[in-house]
């Protein structure tokens, strides 16, 4: 009888479970198409799903029953339900039960032992996908930024074009100036050459005249020496030499 | 003398060299060597030729009047300045360069605006963890699968997989 009461109470209780909108009961806060406005982009999925006891029964059920029945309430409900089903043979135990029990135990053992590893592996796959996409995006951002840098640099370079034209104009000015100076120098050199030529010509003439005169004087002098004068001068020279040698012998 | 000494501006070769892009280095070097050669030549020549010592020549040269004649003709001589034919061309080139560089800067600015726009789009994207496939196709249109052209999975040519 109590079990029937519980059975009738349970669906009523379940029906009176508040809809997911009012936040106080649920852990998640996803509105889930309850209002007219749609949230875009979608808010991120919560990190963990709703808490669950024994892998099956949500925690909210226990919280719901706690004020009325305390901590053991849901367990008593569960045990009662189970016994009712078994005793009234609403659930019949047959060979399928044994098969189910074996299969379930194997599954639960497998999940408990390897569940976290498989989850980590799946997470890693997802991470890699996301990381690849992120890498692509970051590289695209970097490339765009360097492209902008390059463009700015090229603009700065273009500003320096005035240097080029100044250099060209300078070259021209230098060429003209050089040319002009060369011309002045040529004029000066030519005039100087001519004047120097005149001076040199004069000097040469004078030199030649001098030499000629000297030669002529010498020739005349040599001619005017007669043979008699030559003999006399030689005899005089000999006498002088003798006297000199005597004085030299006396001194030594 | 008007027109002479057409303002040889001092050029800052270092600053100039900074602005030369690497693919035009050779031209810049050629220009620089040419300029240096010219300025060396210019520096080697004296600004004024030395003056002729007329008194000495007048005293030395015997021919009467020759030195005087030379002196008169020399001081009356005007050396013509070389005519500048190229500066006009250079100015024309400069105008053209100004115009083309203005165009280039315009185009460059347009490109920068484009890049900025794309950068903005990338920066304001939602993180990949919160994207759905629809969002991904909006952000990167190239990931959209063409279901009309290739109605059967994988909706793209096999070679593209």
Residue B1: inside a domain: no
The tokens describing A49, both together, are 């799903």
- Closest CA of chain A from B140, distance in Å: 10
CA–CA separation, A98 vs B130, rounded Å? 45
CA–CA separation, B159 vs B124, rounded Å? 33
Three-class DSSP category at A58: strand
**Within an 8 Å CB–CB cutoff, is residue B107 touching chain A?**
no
Q: Is the same domain home to B40 and B15?
A: yes
Residue B18: inside a domain: yes
Mean pLDDT of the B18-46 span: 88
pLDDT of amino acid A82 = 95
DSSP state string for A139-173: HHHHHHHHHHHHHHHHHHHHHTHHHHHHHHHHHHH
Q: Is the same domain home to B37 and B23?
A: yes
Three-class DSSP category at A53: strand
Mean pLDDT of the A68-84 span: 93
Cβ neighbours of residue B11 under 8 Å, at least 6 residues apart?
A: A163, A166, A167, A170, B35
Q: Is ipTM beyond 0.95?
A: no
Model confidence at B68: pLDDT above 50: yes
Mean pLDDT of the A84-112 span: 95
Model confidence at B2: pLDDT above 50: no
Helix (H) or strand (E) holding B35: helix B25-44
For chain B positions 59-88, those within 8 Å of chain A (CB to CB) are 60-63, 66-67, 70, 74, 77, 79-82, 84, 86-87
Residue B22: inside a domain: yes
pLDDT of amino acid A20 = 39
Residue B68: inside a domain: no
- Measured N-to-C along each axis, helices A59-69 and A73-87 cross at an angle, to the nearest 10 degrees, of 100
pLDDT digits 0-9 by tens, A125-154: 999 999 998 999 999 999 999 999 999 998
pLDDT of amino acid A41 = 64
Q: Model confidence at A62, in pLDDT bands (50, 70, 90)?
A: very high
Residue B150: inside a domain: yes
Model confidence at B80: pLDDT above 90: no
Short-list B26, B117, B94, B21, CA closest to A155: B21
CA–CA separation, A191 vs A185, rounded Å? 10
- Cβ contacts of A156 on chain B, cutoff 8 Å: 19
Residue B137: inside a domain: yes
Are the Cβ atoms of A165 and B16 closer than 8 angstroms?
no
**Within an 8 Å CB–CB cutoff, is residue B133 touching chain A?**
no
Model confidence at A4: pLDDT above 70: no
**Within an 8 Å CB–CB cutoff, is residue B12 touching chain A?**
yes
pLDDT of amino acid A191 = 86
Mean pLDDT of the A210-238 span: 89
Q: Which residue of B has its CA nearest to A169?
A: B87
When divided into structural domains, chain B yields a total of 3
pLDDT of amino acid A6 = 45
Residue B134: inside a domain: yes
Mean pLDDT of the B35-49 span: 87
pLDDT digits 0-9 by tens, A8-55: 544 444 444 434 333 334 444 555 556 666 666 677 778 888 888 888
The tokens describing A27, both together, are 């852990």
Are the Cβ atoms of A191 and B9 closer than 8 angstroms?
no
Phi first, then psi: give them for residue B46, nearest 5 degrees.
-75, 155
Q: Which residue of B has its CA nearest to A146?
A: B115
Residue B50: inside a domain: no
**Within an 8 Å CB–CB cutoff, is residue B142 touching chain A?**
no
CA–CA separation, B112 vs B108, rounded Å? 6
**Within an 8 Å CB–CB cutoff, is residue A8 touching chain B?**
no
Q: Is the same domain home to B144 and B117?
A: no
Model confidence at A211: pLDDT above 80: yes
pLDDT of amino acid A101 = 96
**Within an 8 Å CB–CB cutoff, is residue B100 touching chain A?**
no
Are the Cβ atoms of B45 and A181 closer than 8 angstroms?
yes
**β partners of residue A53:** A57
pLDDT of amino acid B7 = 64
Q: Is the same domain home to B20 and B34?
A: yes
The tokens describing A212, both together, are 């000629």
**Domain of residue B18, residue span:** 11-44
A39 neighbors B132 (Cβ within 8 angstroms) = no
pLDDT digits 0-9 by tens, B101-156: 999 999 999 999 999 999 999 898 888 888 888 888 888 888 888 889 888 888 88
Q: Is the same domain home to B129 and B151?
A: yes
For chain A positions 113-152, those within 8 Å of chain B (CB to CB) are 130, 133-134, 137, 140-141, 144-145, 147-148, 151-152
């Amino acid at each position: 009888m109590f079990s029937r009461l519980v059975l009738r109470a349970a669906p009523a209780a379940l029906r009176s479970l508040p809809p997911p909108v009012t936040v106080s009961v649920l852990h998640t806060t996803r509105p889930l198409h309850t209002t007219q406005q749609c949230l875009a982009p979608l808010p991120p999925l919560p990190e963990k799903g709703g808490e669950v006891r024994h892998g099956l029964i949500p925690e909210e059920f226990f919280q719901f029953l706690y004020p009325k029945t305390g901590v053991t309430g849901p367990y008593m409900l569960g045990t009662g339900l189970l016994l009712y089903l078994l005793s009234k043979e609403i659930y019949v135990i047959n060979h399928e039960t044994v098969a189910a029990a074996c299969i379930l135990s194997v599954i639960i053992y497998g999940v408990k032992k390897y569940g976290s590893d498989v989850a980590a592996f799946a997470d890693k796959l997802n991470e890699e996908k996301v990381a690849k996409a992120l890498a692509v995006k970051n590289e695209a951002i970097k490339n765009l930024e360097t492209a902008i840098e390059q463009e700015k640099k090229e603009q700065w370079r273009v500003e320096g074009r005035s240097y080029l034209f100044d250099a060209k104009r300078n070259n021209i000015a230098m060429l003209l100036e050089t040319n002009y100076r060369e011309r002045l120098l040529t004029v000066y050199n030519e005039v100087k050459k001519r004047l120097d030529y005149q001076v040199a010509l004069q000097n040469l003439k004078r030199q030649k005249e001098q030499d000629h005169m000297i030669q002529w004087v010498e020739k005349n002098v040599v001619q005017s020496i007669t043979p008699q004068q030559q003999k006399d001068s030689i005899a005089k020279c000999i006498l002088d030499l003798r006297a000199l040698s005597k004085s030299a012998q006396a001194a030594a | 003398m008007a027109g002479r000494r057409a303002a040889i501006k001092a050029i800052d070769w270092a600053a100039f060299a900074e602005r030369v892009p690497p693919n035009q280095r050779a031209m810049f070097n050629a220009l620089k060597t040419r300029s240096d050669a010219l300025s060396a030549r210019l520096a080697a020549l004296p600004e004024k030729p030395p003056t002729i010592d007329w008194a000495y020549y007048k005293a030395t040269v015997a021919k009467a009047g020759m030195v005087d004649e030379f002196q008169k003709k020399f001081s009356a001589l005007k050396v013509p300045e070389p005519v500048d034919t190229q500066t006009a061309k250079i100015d024309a080139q400069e105008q053209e360069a100004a115009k083309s560089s203005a165009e280039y800067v315009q185009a460059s600015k347009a490109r920068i605006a484009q890049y900025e726009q794309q950068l903005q789009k990338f920066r304001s994207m939602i993180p990949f963890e919160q994207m759905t496939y629809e969002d991904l196709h909006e952000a990167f249109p190239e990931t959209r699968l063409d279901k009309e052209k290739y109605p059967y999975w994988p909706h793209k040519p096999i070679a593209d997989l």
